Structure 1
Amino acid sequence: MTRVIVAGPRGKMGSEALRMIEKQEDLELVACLDHKYAGSQVKDFDELPHLDATFYDDIQTCFNAVSADVLVDLTTPEYGYIHTKTALEYGIRPVVGTTGFTDEQLQELTDMAEDKETGVVIAPNFALGAVLMMQFAKWAAKYFQDVEIIEKHHDKKLDAPSGTAAKTAQLIQDVRETKKQGHPDEKETIMGARGADIDGMKIHSMRLPGLVAHQEVVFGSNGENLTIKHDSFHRESFMTGVKLAIDHVMKLDILVYGLENLLE
């Protein structure tokens, strides 16, 4: 039985994670981290599963009060970074769905995980379809040098571009020679109209109510376009990946960034 703490249990992703854990015979929810309602039980909230796990508003108090194997963090970059560091200090394995970490923070966490010999999984996207979309894009980038990434998310998302878009761009960079796309004399008459620039490729971020998580990677060549697209219409789509990460993090002694590194 793997004992799990969930940070961010009242959020849309966190509450979905609680429902997933409730259905798994090999997982046990032992506590939740939340900035409100310390001392409450999960079952006290009508919208959450009928579970006995207690809410804590202080991470060290939580870790000292309960025995846990894994911390599933679905909060914000600021708190996710602090939670991950603290979990490693306590020998608890983090599974992190929070995006927006800086390169310096990721390197620090990587070094810390290696020093502690404790597994960490940080995944920009837990949807298996999205992970495959990124891998397909990397494959296609070997043959199509001109590419733009369009990502669309709900209007409550804090970071732009999304972690998935940034990860996709990184994967494409691994196989693509730097190229400045578009006309050499191109000018933006409105600043930002052409999107963010990474190695000459463009990333565009859309934020609207009604969206969940959507991305398309559009490649262009002479006389043809190739579009690789993925849509998550419900946060339940992320839970297969969360469960996969929980299972794998128990076997790791390093930090793994990206769910694709856990797939065969």
Structure 2
Amino acid sequence: MAIRIILAGATGWVGCALAPAIAAAPDLELVAAIARSQAGSDLGTALGGAASGVPVFASVAEALAVPADVLIDYTKPGVVKANARAALESGLAVVIGTSGLGAADYAELDEVARAHQAGLLAAGNFSITATLLKRFTLEAAKYVADVELIDYASAGKPDAPSGTGRELAEALTGVRQPATSRPISEVVGVPETRGGAFGEGPREVRVHALRLPSFVLGVEAIFGAPDERLTIRHDAGSSAAPYVAGTLLAARKVRGWVGVKRGLDTLLD
């Protein structure tokens, strides 16, 4: 039996690429879509093609009237948490590609997921190459003490850092060695220019978010040691295509556990 999917943010940048990919997969079925601006229409026509038979709703609450197994969310930071909670409380598994949530948010959602015996997978980036960025950076952090992140995105991106940068920074706090750089409490001038902090004390991770035209999404991990540096960087292009395969993999796997997992790397190997 095909996995029945509700796609939130179906007419957005990633949603436009995901919808036809779900439709083309023999083991997946797109049963409902959520896009406030196109509510009441057919998703196929909303995307500029032939009618698909997939209804578009204005909210997750309305879409949940359609029997489904998994909610995929590519919406906005301000609504994704409520969307995920509603789906979990209805017994659906959830895949989150929307950025903006942090460790405390996912701790709350983990409680909801466990209470309703449902699984949730959230990834700051569903690209395989971005997942390798995370894996290689966490490995390097075991051997090189000093690391900071630069998070690149377009001028209009509403959240900082990006989901990719946040997920990587939070993971780094658990594996990195104590930094040798001067503590922020001892920095004079404008301490805020040292970036935002994830974690506390010598194991905190500093993230510098750039928001400029011509960038799409990029994250750079810079390691420093005496007389040498290591840079690991991922840059996304203008297409949402790199996120499709990873998201569909998550949709296929997310019903296999209870609670929250973070990062596409948890599904690799």
2:227 to 223, 229, 235: 223
Asked if 1:247 is matched to 2:248, the reply is: no
Quick one: distance in 2 between partners of 1:188 and 1:30? 56
Question: Do the aligned partners of residues 58 and 46 (structure 1) sit closer, same or farther apart at CA in structure 2, a change above 3 Å counting?
Answer: closer
- Residue of structure 2 in register with 1:10 after alignment: 11
Aligned residue number for residue 217 of structure 2: 213
Q: Distance in 2 between matches of 1:46 and 1:110?
A: 34
Change in 2 beyond 3 A, CA 1:173/1:157:
same
CA distance in 1 between partners of 2:262 and 2:50 (Å) = 30
Q: Tell me whether 5-14 or 152-161 shows the greater mean CA deviation.
A: 152-161
Q: What is the CA-CA distance between 1:176 and the residue it aligns to?
A: 2.0
Deviation at 1:110, TM superposition (A): 0.3
Return the alpha-carbon distance in structure 1 between the equivalents of residues 261 and 235 of structure 2: 24
Stretches of structure 1 that go unaligned for 5 or more consecutive residues are none
Q: Is the 8 A contact 2:102 2:166 kept in 1?
A: no
Q: In the alignment, what sits opposite 1:138?
A: 138
| Bigger Cα displacement from structure 2, 166-175 vs 25-34 | 166-175
Asked if the contact 2:6/2:31 (under 8 Å) is kept, the reply is yes
Q: 2:27 matched to which residue of 1?
A: 26
Q: What residue in structure 2 maps to residue 111 of structure 1?
A: 111
The change in CA–CA distance for 1:47 and 1:154 in structure 2 (over 3 A counts) is farther
- Indicate yes or no: 2:12 matched with 1:37: no
- Paired residues of 2:41 and 2:56 also in contact (CA < 8 A): yes
Deviation at 1:82, TM superposition (A): 0.7
With over 3 angstroms needed to count, the CA separation of the structure-2 counterparts of 1:41 and 1:81, relative to structure 1, is same
Quote the sequence identity (%).
32
State the partner residue of 1:197.
197
Distance in 1, matches of 2:53 and 2:216, equals: 30
CA contact (8 A) 2:154 2:214 kept: yes
Q: In the alignment, which residue of structure 2 is the partner of 1:163?
A: 163
Distance 1:150 1:29 in 2: 37
Query: Alignment length, in residue pairs?
Result: 262
Match of 1:57 in 2: 58
Is the contact between residue 120 and residue 256 of structure 1 (CA under 8 Å) also seen in structure 2?
Answer: yes
- TM-score, length of structure 1 as denominator length: 0.91
Aligned partner of residue 192 in structure 1, secondary structure: helix
Q: What SS does the aligned partner of 2:257 have?
A: coil
Q: Aligned to 2:110, what secondary structure does the other structure show? A: helix
Which residue does the alignment assign to 1:73? 73
Query: Using a 3 Å threshold, how does the CA distance of structure 1 residues 210 and 21 change in structure 2: closer, same or farther?
Result: farther
The amino acid that maps onto 1:162 is S
Task: Go from structure 1 to structure 2 and tell me whether the alpha carbon gap of 1:211 and 1:43 turns closer, same or farther (over 3 Å shift).
Answer: same
**Residue 58 and residue 186 in structure 1: after superposition, are their counterparts in 2 closer, same or farther (change >3 A)?**
closer
**C-alpha offsets along residues 122-173 of structure 1, whole Å, 9 cap, x if unaligned?**
1111111111111111111111111111111123322101122122122222
Residues 43/175 of structure 1: CA separation in 2 closer, same or farther (3 Å cut): closer
